[in-house]
Amino acid sequence: MAIKPGKMETVVNLQQLQQYYRGKKVFITGHTGFKGSWLSAILYLAGAEIKGYALAPEHPYDLFHRLGPVTGIESVIADIRQREKLSQELRSFQPDYIFHLAAQPLVRRSYAIPSETFEVNAVGTANLLEAVNGLAQPCTVVVITTDKVYENKEQDILYREEDALGGYDPYSASKACTELVVQSFRNSFFNTARFDAHHKAIAVARAGNVIGGGDWSEDRIIPDIVRSLQQDRPVDVRNPGAVRPWQHVLEPLTGYLLLGGLLNETPVAFSTAYNFGPYPEDHLTVKELVELAVAQWGSGSWMDISGGVQPHEAGLLKLDIGKAVSQLHWQPRLNATQAIEWTIRWYRQPADKQAAFTLEQIKNYLSA
């Protein structure tokens, strides 16, 4: 499982994360989800005291259940829209750091529940930040949004943090609204010019299409691939020509954690937004991703089902990661092929080995 050298070495390693987070109280919203479970595992290895707040996981085989006996974090099962409950849990924990991942995260589901998507993503974020404003002690907050917050012109360009926000579908638009909520709270309550008065720092992390073991969400490409291959049937592919910034889940999560640590040390300098994604030449089409995954699996096939009426999904989306590279000294470590290899290898593990394999992949990634 050795990691091949990348273009430049990243500074993120386990020792550094332990320096930032060992003995610190970290509050994670959305800790039962795919990314939240991986983030909890990394922070567990970094020695943090973790409290999670989220809805119950959707499936009995979700990664949260696999890791629960290992990480042993305090888990609150509740809705981000329960404003008083959320505020109470924050006050009782008194966190040093907050990572806000709780969301309705699926584009196609947002067409079925548009109002709820806006409520969870935008109003839920406002609930969290209002609760943070009520905390007496210093606190560092990283809000996770998405690459889809940009006004996508469907052109072969790299979107930078200063580009206009937008969103065609309800999910993308709700995440753009989330960023406006963050901007409003930062200006109104957490203004960097008055940091010495409030001692609250807030940044935004935007990530591309994240893949990795333990994701079982509907209408996501890797879970769809794995379910099809496990059942020995062709993988249904809706938009084989669509281009996405695919990355292994450990790439953005270590970026979020690096950002959180730097934000805590130098809040005024890092209270802004950052893109996390692959190098520009490492964006793949859906077809390329599927074929690499099938090859790694060792058997299988796929079929194009993109005909007929389908909800709109972006056809071309790429991120410029130059700001994270230059300011945070963060670097992608796995290219797209390696990310797919790591992901499929995880799904090939027996259920009783998946928790240990998750921690093994984290340690290997952070020690390389």
Supply the pLDDT for residue 67: 94
Three-state DSSP class for 216?
coil
DSSP helix, strand, coil percent of the chain (3-state; round to 5): 50, 15, 35
Residues 129/202, Cβ–Cβ less than 8 Å: yes
Instruction: Please tell me the least confidently modeled range out of 198-207, 234-243, 261-270, 284-293.
Output: 234-243
6-10, 177-181, 282-286: least confident range: 6-10
> Which two three-digit tokens encode residue 10?
């990243």
Confidence grade of residue 356 (pLDDT, cut at 50, 70, 90): very high
d(Cα 141, Cα 200) in Å, to the nearest integer? Answer: 8
Q: What is the DSSP letter of 2?
A: P
**What pLDDT score does 243 carry?**
85
Cα–Cα dist 107/253, whole Å? 21
pLDDT at 55: 97
Whether the per-residue pLDDT at 314 is higher than 70: the answer is no
What's residue 75's pLDDT? 96
State the pLDDT at residue 9: 47
Could you tell me if residue 292 is inside a domain? Answer: no
For tokens 């640590």, name the residue.
261
Reported confidence tier of residue 98, pLDDT bands at 50, 70, 90:
very high
CATH code where residue 263 lies: 3.40.50.720
- What region, left, alpha or beta, does residue 63 occupy, with left being phi > 0 and alpha being psi -120 to 50 degrees? alpha
Kindly state the average pLDDT of the residues 218-240: 92
How many domains, in total, are found in the chain? 1
Distance of CA 284 to the CA centre of its chain: 19
- Does any domain span residue 159? yes
Mean pLDDT of 198-215: 95
Rounded to 5 degrees, what are φ and ψ at 284?
-120, 155
The encoded tokens of residue 264 equal 């805590």
In a domain, 80, yes or no: yes
Residue 363 lies in a domain: no
Average pLDDT, the chain: 92
Q: For residue 201, tell me if it sits in a domain.
A: yes
End-to-end CA distance of the chain: 10
When pLDDT is averaged across residues 234-242 and rounded to a whole number, the result is 90
Kind of pairing between the strands at 273-276 and 235-237: unpaired
pLDDT of residue 7: 43
**To which residue do tokens 């794995």 refer?**
226
Q: 308: pLDDT confidence band, cut at 50, 70 and 90?
A: low
- Tokens describing residue 194: 């008055």
Mean pLDDT for the stretch of residues 138-157: 92
pLDDT at 145 over 80: yes
**What is the distance between the alpha carbons of residues 3 and 95, in angstroms, rounded to a whole number?**
34
Kindly report the pTM of this predicted structure: 0.94
Q: What is the extent of the structural domain holding 36?
A: 14-211+246-282+313-334
Can you tell me the distance from the alpha carbon of 127 to that of 223, in angstroms, rounded to the nearest whole number? 31
Question: According to the model, what pLDDT value does residue 293 have?
Answer: 95
- Judged against a pLDDT cut of 80, whether residue 53 lies above it is answered with yes
- How many CB atoms neighbour CB 337 within 10 A? 16
Of the listed ranges 58-62, 168-172, 295-299, the one predicted with least confidence = 58-62
- The proportion of the chain whose per-residue pLDDT surpasses 70, expressed as a percent, equals 94
Confidence bin at 71 (pLDDT 50/70/90):
confident
Amino acid 216 reads W
Measured CA to CA, the distance from residue 18 to residue 262 in angstroms comes to 13
Is the confidence at residue 6, as pLDDT, over 80?
no
Nearest one of 275, 150, 257 to 210, comparing CA atoms: 275
Cβ pair 217, 64 in contact under 8 A: no
Q: Tell me the two tokens of residue 357.
A: 């394999």
What value does the CA radius of gyration of the chain take, rounded to a whole number of Å? 19
- Residue 203 pLDDT > 90, yes or no? yes
> 254 — phi, psi (to 5°)?
-70, -30
The H or E element containing residue 260 is: helix 250-265
The rounded distance, in Å, linking the Cα atoms of 283 and 154 is 14
pLDDT confidence band for 3 (50 / 70 / 90): very low
pLDDT band, residue 313 (cuts 50/70/90)? low
The answer as to whether 87 is a domain residue is yes
Range 234-257 average pLDDT: 93
Assess if residue 293 is contained within a domain: no
Q: What are phi and psi of 100, to 5 degrees?
A: -100, 105
pLDDT tier at 8, thresholds 50, 70, 90: very low
CA-based max dimension of the chain: 60
Tell whether 200 is covered by a domain: yes
Distance CA 114, CA 173 (A): 10
